[in-house]
């Protein structure tokens, strides 16, 4: 039942932001009576959809996130559950949002048996961006890199289209689609003139496009300035066509990256997908702004003159190197896809 609730929740993978992805199953005597999932912010919650037109008295309700207990855009789900006379609620994980928690306690106080922890890890993975935003005040940052086997991401002049094959590029667009925002730097804009949109897969909405441009050197004819309005973080005040410019300068007259993440979280960004060059990649990593690496490796070599993945200082010893923990390794056509996280932060 919980596995089904998670499958339903995943239907909102591209649409629920800034809300969490939630699915719900109502069951009695091991039979599913009804089910529902949250589609988008402002729409009915999964519990509401699942209980529509159903006699749920004495039933068990399975949901991947603790039912909310506060009035937001929609009424508290715990009130509906009490009226429905369900006898038991099983949540995969507790709601980390301090504004919405304590739903389980209120259900228990109303005489409804409440349990949590079933498939908790899977539930957390599905909503890791939401968890990050409400507990850390910053999005979950996933850095995507396409490289050759010798770790090169672009020619010496910055050109990088295309290192990987069509299947890997299509998969990369799936990861773009699930993100709330896509981030790149002015170097990538200058070298590749990307659109930074989801095109290879169907999506009901385009993620917010974000550019780090310390000196506001963006060419006005850049393709990224076409279409929906973009968000530009700079170290100086100014204007750009079809863009909102936010000035966040650090002591080095660069964009303050941690403050940038805080501002994105304030705007409701749960997952931030990074597709940038080695300089911005290195800066994000050095400042502790990266939670996960999405690496596509192509079976080829580009040589020493080509650009690398990250602009990092040389480590004095092997013990000082940054270690990663591999979460998954898959083959896509001729390319390999590796999902990894910093070992110190991995569960």
Cite the active site residues. 47
Burial class (CB in 10 A: 0-12, 13-18, 19+), 253: exposed
> Is the CA virtual torsion 283, 197, 291, 263 positive or negative?
positive
Q: Which two tokens stand for residue 242?
A: 């079809």
- Cα–Cα dist 234/222, whole Å: 17
The Cα 208–Cα 201 span in angstroms is: 17
47: left (phi over 0), alpha (psi -120 to 50) or beta: alpha
* Alpha carbons 212 and 184: distance in angstroms, whole number: 6
Token digits of residue 196: 């930074």
Integer Rg of the chain from CA:
22
43 three-class SS: coil
User: Residue 309 in contact with residue 144, Cβ under 8 Å?
Assistant: no
8 A C-beta contact, residue 46 and residue 67:
no
The string of DSSP codes covering 181-237 is EEEEEHHHHHHH-------SS--SSPPEEEEE-TT----TT-GGGSSS-EEEEESS-
Are β-strands 307-308 and 152-154 bridged in parallel, bridged antiparallel, or unpaired?
A: antiparallel
Which residues, listed in sequence order, are joined to residue 60 by a DSSP beta bridge?
A: 27, 88
Q: How far apart are CA 255 and CA 234, in angstroms?
A: 6
């Amino acid at each position: 039942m919980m596995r089904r609730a998670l499958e339903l929740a995943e239907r909102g993978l591209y649409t629920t932001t800034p809300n969490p992805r939630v699915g719900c199953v109502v069951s009695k005597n091991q039979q599913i009576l009804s089910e529902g999932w949250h589609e988008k912010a402002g729409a009915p919650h999964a519990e509401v959809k699942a209980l529509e037109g159903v006699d749920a008295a004495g039933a068990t309700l399975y949901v991947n996130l603790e039912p909310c207990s506060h009035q937001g855009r929609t009424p508290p789900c715990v009130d509906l559950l009490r009226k429905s006379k369900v006898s038991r609620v099983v949540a995969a994980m507790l709601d980390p949002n301090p504004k919405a928690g304590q739903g389980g306690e209120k259900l228990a106080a109303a005489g409804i048996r409440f349990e949590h922890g079933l498939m908790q890890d899977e539930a957390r993975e599905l909503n890791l961006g939401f968890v990050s935003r409400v507990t850390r005040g910053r999005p979950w940052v996933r850095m995507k890199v396409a490289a050759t086997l010798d770790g090169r991401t672009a020619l010496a002049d910055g050109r990088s289209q295309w290192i990987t094959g069509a299947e890997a590029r299509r998969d990369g667009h799936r990861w773009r689609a699930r993100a709330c925002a896509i981030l790149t730097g002015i170097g990538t804009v200058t070298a590749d003139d990307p659109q930074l949109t989801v095109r290879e897969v169907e999506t009901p909405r385009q993620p917010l496009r974000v550019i780090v441009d310390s000196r506001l050197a963006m060419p006005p004819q850049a393709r990224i300035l076409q279409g929906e309005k973009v968000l530009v973080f700079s170290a100086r005040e100014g204007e750009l066509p079809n863009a909102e410019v936010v000035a966040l300068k650090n002591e080095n007259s660069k964009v303050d990256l941690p403050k940038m993440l805080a501002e994105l979280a304030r705007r409701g960004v749960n997952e931030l997908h990074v597709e940038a060059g080695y300089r911005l990649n290195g800066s994000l990593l050095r400042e502790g702004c990266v939670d996960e690496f999405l690496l596509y490796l192509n079976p080829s070599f580009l040589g020493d003159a080509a650009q690398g993945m990250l602009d990092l200082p040389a480590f004095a010893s092997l013990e000082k190197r940054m270690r990663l923990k591999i979460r998954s390794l898959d083959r896509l056509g001729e390319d390999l896809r590796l999902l990894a996280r910093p070992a110190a932060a991995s569960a």
